[in-house]
Amino acid sequence: MGSLVTKIKNLISSLTSEINEIPDNAVLLDVRSPEEHVIGTLPGSVLMPLAELADPQKVTAKLSDTSQPIVVYCASGGRSMKAKQQLKKMGYKKVYNGGGISSVRKLLRS
**Chain centre distance of CA 89:** 16
Catalytic residue among 74, 95, 101, 104: 74
CB contact set of 77 (below 8 Å; sequence gap of 6+): 97, 99, 100
Is-contact 75 100, C-beta < 8 A? yes
Taking each helix axis as running N to C, give the angle between helix 4-15 and helix 101-109, from 0 to 180 degrees, rounded to the nearest 10: 120
Active site residue 74: yes
Percent helix, percent strand, percent coil in the chain, to nearest 5:
45, 15, 40
User: What residues act catalytically?
Assistant: 74
